[in-house]
Amino acid sequence: MNVRPVAERRQVLFTFKILYMKNISSNLLSIVYFLCGIGVLLLFWEVSSRLSDGELPGPIPTWEVFYELLKDPFYDFGPNDKGIGLLLWGSIVRVAYGFLLGTLVAVPLGILLGASKIAMNILNPVVQILKPVSPLAWFPIGLAVFQSAPSATVFIIFITSLWPTLINTAFGVSTVPQDHKNVAKAFGFSKFKYVVKILFPYSLPHIFTGLRLSIGVAWLVIVAGEMLSGGMGIGFFIWDSWNAGSMEKIIGGILIIGIIGLLLDKGFSLLQKSFSYEK
Amino acid sequence: MKNNIEAPTLEMYIKQDLGLTQNSIEINNVTVSFKTPKGKFDAVKDISLTIRKGEIVSIIGHSGCGKSTLMNTISGMVKPSQGEVLANGKRVTGPGPDRGLVFQNYSLLPWLTVYQNIYEAVDSVLKYFNKSEKKTLVKDTLKMVNLYEHKDKLPGQLSGGMKQRVAIARAFAINPSILLLDEPFGALDALTKSSMHIELLKLWNLDNRNKTIVMVTHDIEEAIFLSDRIVVMNNGPAATIKAIVDVPLLRPRHKKEIVHDPEYMKIHDQLLGMLMDKLSIADIKSSI
Ligand SMILES: Nc1ncnc2c1ncn2[C@@H]1O[C@H](COP(=O)(O)OP(=O)(O)O)[C@@H](O)[C@H]1O
Ligand SMILES: [Mg+2]
């Protein structure tokens, strides 16, 4: 492992400097592997398309239809006719709102659960019951409360983002090693110093693990949520394309969803790395 | 307990003449019991020990016999179930700024640099210092242990010897009158260990040998080289002091020469006998 000084580690966080530049040859190799994987996918896709007698469009016709969409992604011809870029942006904004709200609730609550046995005993059963529920089941409640489909969609993303963050934060906070606690005790750290110099630095990698999981699930759920709410976002795009009978658009949409998901995950993985430390 | 009678050393005479002999640590009838799922477990039982100011004392014994536990009653990290410990005449109720602690496994905070690790301890203990005084103190301490060039490194970037120097520097920085070291050099290779011994003694000398040092170890050579007295513990549970061995070797001691000193060899054999003795009895028992 290459180790970076603290000042630089902070910088990485803000500039998102790509860390992999150092080893160019292994970088090159991973690009080659990536292209191979894409090649296999395209081949499989083309073969399936031929086997299905054109029911499933192949890569080339899909690209042709999709290219048209990408040429003008931000047009706006009223509520049910928007460019794919606008739809996608809408989804990203809703995920961002729901995720941020979820984080604002889950992190403090997680710290409370991790720090206090009593809070854990009281809230853990509640969390255990609510966690396995599909966030989509909350949609009607969101609708009833907010009387608005976009808000209800943000609400289900909020619920989605709660659990992984909450659980990982609580885990981080409750597993501060005895060694670190001993340092605090031996040198008489104040509560404040303990929180800032030991509890937080130790828990942050766990919190970011939770955030990374949360954003992943949130991005999964937004598509389904928007199919349910209709009229907005990339989920609606997929559903609308199905109604319009365009398999090409659906496949194109799937690829875009996948790529955004990948970028979100990579971004959070960089964040996570910049907050982790060498043992 | 006949070994308990202390033969006075030259240094003791000198200190006595100057009126410097004071008790730094008094352990009075200390028993430590832990609550375990199987019930109460006595780790150490009814231990009494007095350590004078400026003395270096090693605690030696088999793994798990209760050395750390005994040490932790002095540091205040463990409360005795019975008896009491006095440090500088005051009853120990918890850790305090008069006692500096070096843990068995360094216990540096991995996300803080060398400098910050020491600074946070100093900041916490020396509340009445202002910021620039604290900074100067940390820098001076780092220079003293030759770590100043490494001050911005994280513990993960340091060798075992360097980590241990940081841990010692952290304990030294708060200028405690008592320094407590729990197997400080156990994880180091022989060469690094030797140079750490010299460094520790240098620090002790710098302070006119006024600091009391209590060290847990299971290394006989280390104990003899460093100590004025060596406390040998029985095997637990309910461990007691088996013997206290004086080391009347003159200081400064030289690593290379001391091993040929007949007095050194005698003490070495004596300690080895006490520690091996237990082993052979166990062997006989298990082979019956
Ligand atoms: N917190 C604790 N709870 C229960 N038992 C303990 C605890 N700390 C130490 N012990 C037990 O006390 C005995 C002495 O431990 P310790 O002082 O760490 O030994 P040493 O340092 O000599 O290796 C061991 O049997 C150990 O299992
Ligand atoms: Mg120990």
Whole-prediction pTM: 0.79
For residue range A36-91, what is the model confidence (pLDDT) as tens digits?
A: 999 999 999 999 999 988 788 989 989 998 888 888 888 888 777 788 899 999 99
* pLDDT in 10s for each residue of chain B, 288 residues: 334 344 555 555 555 445 455 789 999 999 999 999 999 999 999 999 999 999 999 999 999 999 999 999 999 999 999 999 999 999 999 999 999 999 988 899 999 999 999 999 999 999 889 999 999 999 999 998 889 999 999 999 999 889 988 999 999 899 999 999 999 988 888 888 898 899 899 989 988 899 999 999 989 999 999 999 999 999 978 999 999 999 999 999 998 899 999 999 999 999 999 988 655 555 554 444
| Residue B68 CA, ligand 1 centroid: distance in Å | 7
Atom of ligand 1 nearest to the CA of B182: 21
Question: What CA–CA distance (Å, rounded) separates B254 from A230?
Answer: 85
Rg of chain A over Cα atoms, rounded to whole angstroms, equals: 23
Distance from CA of B213 to the nearest CA of A (A): 17
- Bridge partners of B245, per DSSP, are B230
Whether the Cβ atoms of residue B84 and residue B28 lie closer than 8 Å to each other: yes
Of the bound ligands, which one is closest to the alpha carbon of residue B67? 1
Residue A134 vs residues A141, A276, B183, B208: alpha-carbon distances, Å: 13, 31, 53, 70
Would you call B24 helix, strand, or coil by DSSP? strand
Question: What CA–CA distance (Å, rounded) separates B288 from B280?
Answer: 12
Looking at residue A133, its amino acid is V
- Tell me whether 0.90 is exceeded by the ipTM: no
Which of A5, A186, A189 is opposite residue B75, by nearest beta carbon? Answer: A186
Q: How many Cα atoms sit within 13 Å of A148 on the Cβ side?
A: 5
B121 touches chain A (CB under 8 A): yes
Residues of chain B neighbouring A187 (CB-CB closer than 8 A)? 95, 101, 120-121, 124-125, 170, 174
Task: Please check the confidence at residue A17 and state whether its pLDDT lies above 60.
Answer: no
**End-to-end CA separation in angstroms for chain A:** 11
Residues of chain A neighbouring B108 (CB-CB closer than 8 A)? 183
Question: What CA–CA distance (Å, rounded) separates A201 from A64?
Answer: 50
Looking at residue B50, its amino acid is T
